[in-house]
Amino acid sequence: MHKYILKRILMLIPVIFGVSLLVFCIMNVASGDVTAVMGAEELDAQQLYELKESLGLNDPLLVRYVKYMWNLITKGDLGTGYISKEPVMSLFLNRFPNTLKLALGSTLVCVILSIPLGIYSAVHHGSIADNVAMVGALLGLSIPNFWLGLVLIVIFALRLGWLPSEGAVGFKSIILPAITIGTGFMASMTRVTRSSMLDVIRSDYLRTARAKGAPERQVIYKHALKNALIPIITSIGETFATALGGAVVTEAVFSWPGVGRLIIDSIRSRDTMVVVGCIIMKTIVISVILLIVDILYAFVDPRIKSHYARARKAKIDE
Amino acid sequence: MKKLLAILLAGAMVLSLAACGNQNGTTGEAETKGEAESNTSAAEKTYKEVITLGYDQPATTLDCQVLVNSIQDTLYMLYLNTLVNFNFETKQIEPCLATEWSHNDDSTVWTFKLRNDVTFSNGEPFTADDVVFTVERMAATGVSGAADAKNVEKVVANGDYEVAITLIQANMDLPYRLAMPFWGMLNREALEKDPDNGYKVGTGGWTPVKFEPGTMVEFDKVESSWVWKDVQTPTKKIIEKTMTEESARSIAVQTDEIQFSYSFNFGDINIYDADPNVDYSIISADLIYYLGMSYESEAIGDDVNLRNAIAYAIDPTELMDVGFSGKGEPCKTFWGPNQYGIYTDYEQQLGKNLDLAKEYLAKSNHPDGLTLSLTTVSAFEQMAEVVQAQLAEIGIEIKLNITDAPGLAQTVADKKLDLLLYSKTCGVYGDQFRDILVYGNTANRMKYNNEKVAELLDKALGETDDATRLALYKEVQEITHEEMPCVPLFYGTASGLFRKGLSGVIFQSNTRHNFTYAVCEESK
Amino acid sequence: MSKNKKEVQDINRKATGEKAKGRSQGAEVWYRMRKNKGAMVGLVVVVLLILLAVFSDVIFDYSKQIAGINTKARLLPPSWEHPFGTDGKGRDLFVRVLYGTKYSLTIGVVATLISTLIAVPIGALAGYYGGFFENVVMRIMDMLSAVPFILMGIVVVSALGANMMNLIIALGIVGIPKICRMTRAAVLTVKNQEYIESARIIGLKERDIIIKHVLPNCLSPIIVSITLQVATVIISASSLSFLGLGVPAPSPEWGALLSAGRDELRQHANLTLFPGLAIMITVLALNLMGDGLRDAMDPKLRK
């Protein structure tokens, strides 16, 4: 079991390094001369050199990358924003809770909408309701989420005035953005729920339970759901990780003060350090979460569990 | 299956139509509701302790010597004071931290006598040494007033309450420059103790207590400040929030979430006329919108014919229509609207003249048209598209480069600037356009370098005879009218949408409104 | 005594009384799709959109209707003359939305094509040969997909500059991992089948095996993937345009139209609603079509 975990963690490391190298190089090569933005035209050659030296810009790209990663790993330091003059890590940590809140809210919305729908569809498989649910889920996938966000703003914030259209103050402000993101993942989660419920419903041990005379409701909720839960939980985990990463556009629509909006603002002001730092951090966070989901899945899925248990037992018997 | 699909799609369409139906009213002619009146009546009124302002542009720093723009200056005015103030009503320079000032015969040495009862928010007294420190810091590392600081030969404190600034070049307009918010006086002790935050310490009536760059700034009242000696306000806290979405900002005023919104969509005036809780103010501003043409652009360079071709292809009224629902005033010259020395009596007036434009184009280096990039900030994107369409009419293809202020600096530094659609604050004093007409100044992103113009401006700066001065400025404008470093487009407006109970705000035509004395009644 | 396939079918037919159904595999898929109403609607819509995209320049006059401005006719509400109303510069929104089909479809199709041309061969080879190569390829795919889709798109576009070509390249690159993984998984399933084993025993060259036997049997999940990918790319392209990182002005790309309409959200919501509706309809049609294809090609669902 631990071998599995270790293996997965080890595989994660080159991925993170690869991503950070890629993003670092692309952004720094493309961003042009940063010193110019700091009013460097006034400086003569010597002062310019010193300025660049202080920013570490005189080293070749790869050396800068290594120093950058070293700072990140040993000191948790992502450098200082060229424009904003604040340490990137603190900017990120400042905004990250907001993105986290939004991701949690969206996942919640998705779960509340998808799972009952998926269960209902599975139980009433083939009926009209099932078809409607499937098309509805598909609709959620097809609607561009920034458009949905704007439509919701028009209806609930501008016309009816029930909910705020921007900002992150108070409980009310998270509702519209969470719905905007959550409905996008509905299709996938509903489908996973439905198919895993279907698999379980048709399976043998349920037939046994029914044969034993257990009431249908108990059959579904106690037996079917428990076993169907595994892929559903994985889906929830993946949804959460994706919501964490992909909320960028929704954050822009709702002016939500999260990491996504920070990235967009920094791209506009050409603050490369902030963009690179945030993207790398976001990637690390998402990868770690997906890793945890995978590991939990491995613990929970009886097939994998038994594979390792058997292996252990075999070792003991030797 | 198909039926269900049809029902669902129909449902989606009904939803959309419901949302876009009920469009109330047409955009009628705006009535300028004027400034908010001071409320001096009875004690039953309750006043807010916290006033929140909503701005569209983010504030990224609190170091006044680093950055200048409308929001930055507005904030600086809350916690910093300058030596002198400019009164936009009387158009006179007034004392602030300085009580009186004088200059020697050739206007190179300026002496300021200072108040002796001012303390900084950290308790340190304000003395002449702080003035020396501020000027020296600006000269060393400052950006916002660098041009002024470069002209300072030395600054000397005579005792605690008198300071003498010696200039390299005579400058009659020095007081106007020192009245600018970014020349706020800083405290030597504060910055020596804490170089990373010491610039937040000022003499103003407020002090920043919380700062999230790009998102919000929070100010608490400094009860001990000299500002509150004769005037009291019930307000205890001022918060400035960045709310880039105009509709969100306007709604926030209507719901009392914020009490003031900087700029609003003039097309929605009918909504605000109908709302009894809000008021608005639209004043003509000392703001000029211009289309700059870079001398460092390979395509444009100093091709005067091309520049004139572009100038006469633009129709400023269309820009005003699209950008500001028609509000504004087309420019007749490249000069501030209330600026000393404005001259508009040209033979060839500005404005759209396609035949003339095509004539100039034919004489230029690119008679068959060319492709140029147009850089601007996202707030002006819609107007930039109009320029794009207008220039297409004479065969110039435009590629838009939408960025923001720092990105603009980058574009200039990379020498990638062709055309620039931007705005500039003007002033009342004659020398105000130096920063855009003389090479080496920050606002001169076009890198216009005409020695004659620089010479004329310098002469006018030290000139005491009115008629001569006017003639000098007239000549400057005639030159720019011929050479077209920039196409002057139109003079803008400063606007605000606010709660009816808001008062004490000094609206200034340079868009830097003074909120120090802001008071807001609680709405019933 | 060897009866050919058709003879056997005829015998069965006579026995069960079925009508002759001598279909090839392709026709079989088509037949099953036809029965799926949703998929058919999707298909029809997609075909209409393609026609619209192809003939846009013939139907509309770009300089007058798309790029030309007319500030006297600003922000008019929907009417018979302007079914969707006019935008902030007096341009008819209906025409702009229709013309915008061209951008979305082009970007969607070409970007997905790029992804496919790169991902399918790599994924197939990775699945077939396995080992170190497969490991390296999968790690690279992990790397590319570790960064959230839209962020990667933002990085590439802001590095290369915002225009249609770069947008296509960016989305093409970002779309590789999904198709590659799908191909590899499909190849893994097929490669261990008996008929592949037989082909090998007969002595066919590896290359021939892959091209002639493995890939054709993987085709169905790949085709479904591609269709759905086009939909994803279209949404991503409009998202990037919405952020200002997509097709430059004055091109009426749907995301850009949405972004421009935002300024007038309070009283002219039509400017935002209709372009969004266009995106939704296109993507929905593609998804329905893709779903229908998946159901039609899936042997397990044979009724």
Facing residue for C155 by CB, picked from A23, A139, A286: A23
**Angle CA(C106)–CA(C170)–CA(C279) in degrees, nearest 5?**
45
Residue C187 lies in a domain: yes
Record: contact B4-A84, CB cut-off 8 A: no
CATH number assigned to the domain comprising residue C43: 1.10.3720.10
Distance between C154 CA and the closest CA of chain A, angstroms: 9
| Cα–Cα distance list, C185 to A189, A224, C130, C223, C237 (Å) | 21, 28, 11, 14, 27
Please report residues of B whose CB lies closer than 8 A to that of C158.
none
Record: contact A144-C147, CB cut-off 8 A: no
If DSSP codes are grouped into helix, strand and coil, which group holds residue B453?
helix
If DSSP codes are grouped into helix, strand and coil, which group holds residue A290?
helix
Facing residue for A248 by CB, picked from C140, C150, C280: C150
Burial of C161 (0-12, 13-18, 19+ CB in 10 A): middle
Distance between B474 CA and the closest CA of chain A, angstroms: 31
Host domain of residue C134: 23-60+74-301
What's the domain count of chain C?
1
**pTM to 2 decimals?**
0.79
Alpha-carbon distance of C151 to A267, in angstroms, equals 11
Record: contact C284-A139, CB cut-off 8 A: yes
Structure confidence by residue, pLDDT tens digits, B460-490? 888 878 899 999 999 999 999 999 999 999 9
Measured CB to CB, residues of chain A less than 8 Å from chain B are 32-34, 36-37, 39-42, 83-86, 91, 94, 128, 131-132, 135-136, 139, 151, 153-155, 157-159, 161, 164-167, 255, 257, 262, 265, 268-271
Residue C5 lies in a domain: no
Domains of chain B: 1-36+47-80+204-277+500-524 (3.40.190.10), 81-195 (3.90.76.10), 285-492 (3.10.105.10)
Sheet of B152-157: strand order equals B98-103, B109-114, B162-167, B152-157
Residues 6+ apart with CB under 8 A from A77: A71, A87, A89
Ranges B145-159, B395-409, C17-31, most confident = B145-159
Record: contact C263-B392, CB cut-off 8 A: no
Q: Quote the tokens at residue B78.
A: 């809350």
Q: What is the dihedral of CA B124, B125, B130, B131, to 10 degrees?
A: 150
Sign of CA dihedral B447, B453, B457, B458: positive
pLDDT at B38: 43
Looking only at the bridges linking them, the beta strands covering B109-114 and B162-167 are antiparallel
Please report residues of B whose CB lies closer than 8 A to that of A154.
19-20
Alpha-carbon distance of B363 to B352, in angstroms, equals 18
Please report residues of C whose CB lies closer than 8 A to that of B17.
273
Interface test with C, best of A13, A15, A146, A188 (most C CBs within 10 A): A146
Record: contact C242-A283, CB cut-off 8 A: no
Burial of B14 (0-12, 13-18, 19+ CB in 10 A): exposed
Burial of C72 (0-12, 13-18, 19+ CB in 10 A): exposed
**Angle CA(B50)–CA(B56)–CA(B57) in degrees, nearest 5?**
105
Alpha-carbon distance of A6 to A13, in angstroms, equals 11
Q: Quote the tokens at residue B329.
A: 């005033």
Whether the CB-CB separation of B397 and B372 falls below 8 Å is answered with: yes
Record: contact B245-A166, CB cut-off 8 A: yes
Please report residues of A whose CB lies closer than 8 A to that of C158.
27, 30, 267, 275
- Give the CATH superfamily of A88-258: MetI-like (1.10.3720.10)
In C56-115, the residues whose Cβ lies within 8 Å of chain B are 63, 67-69, 71, 74-75, 77-78, 88-89
Whether the CB-CB separation of B408 and B375 falls below 8 Å is answered with: yes
Q: At what angle do helices A172-201 and A225-246 cross, to 10 degrees?
A: 140
End-to-end Cα separation, chain B, in angstroms: 55
Residue B7 has pLDDT above 70, yes or no: no
Q: Quote the tokens at residue B487.
A: 């196409």
Residue C221 lies in a domain: yes
Domain boundaries along the sequence of chain A? 1-60+269-318, 88-258
Q: Quote the tokens at residue B304.
A: 């005067």
Chains in touch with A (≥3 Cβ pairs < 8 A): B, C
Q: A89: closest CA among A299, A318, A262, A287?
A: A262
Kindly state the DSSP code that residue B489 receives in the 8-state scheme.
E
Measured CB to CB, residues of chain B less than 8 Å from chain A are 1, 4-5, 8, 12, 15-16, 18-20, 22, 58, 60-61, 143, 146, 212-215, 241, 243-245, 247-248, 251-252, 255, 257, 378, 403-407, 409-410, 412-414, 442
pLDDT at A204: 63
Facing residue for B246 by CB, picked from C63, C263, C280: C263
Q: Hey, which residues does B385 pair with through a beta bridge?
A: none
Distance between B73 CA and the closest CA of chain A, angstroms: 17
Alpha-carbon distance of B293 to B297, in angstroms, equals 8
pLDDT class for B276, splitting at 50, 70, 90? Answer: very high
Q: Quote the tokens at residue C268.
A: 């002219």
Whether the CB-CB separation of A244 and A282 falls below 8 Å is answered with: yes
Residue showing tokens 């009596």: B345
Residues of chain C with pLDDT > 90, as a percent, come to 19
Residue C1 lies in a domain: no
Q: What are the pLDDT tens digits along chain A (318 aa)?
A: 677 778 878 888 888 888 888 888 887 777 666 665 555 555 666 767 777 777 667 777 788 888 888 888 877 777 777 666 678 888 888 889 999 999 999 999 999 988 888 888 888 877 788 878 877 878 888 888 888 888 888 888 877 778 877 777 778 888 889 999 998 888 888 888 888 887 777 776 666 767 777 677 666 666 666 667 778 888 888 889 888 887 888 888 888 888 988 888 888 777 778 888 888 888 888 888 888 887 777 776 666 555 555 555 544 443
Residue C234 CA, distance from chain mean position? 8
Length of chain A as a residue count: 318
Residue C139 lies in a domain: yes
Residues 6+ apart with CB under 8 A from B6: none
Kindly state the DSSP code that residue A27 receives in the 8-state scheme.
H
User: ipTM greater than 0.90, yes or no?
Assistant: no
Residue showing tokens 């060259």: C205
Q: C158: closest CA among A257, A287, A248, A77?
A: A248
pLDDT at C82: 87
Residue C9 lies in a domain: no
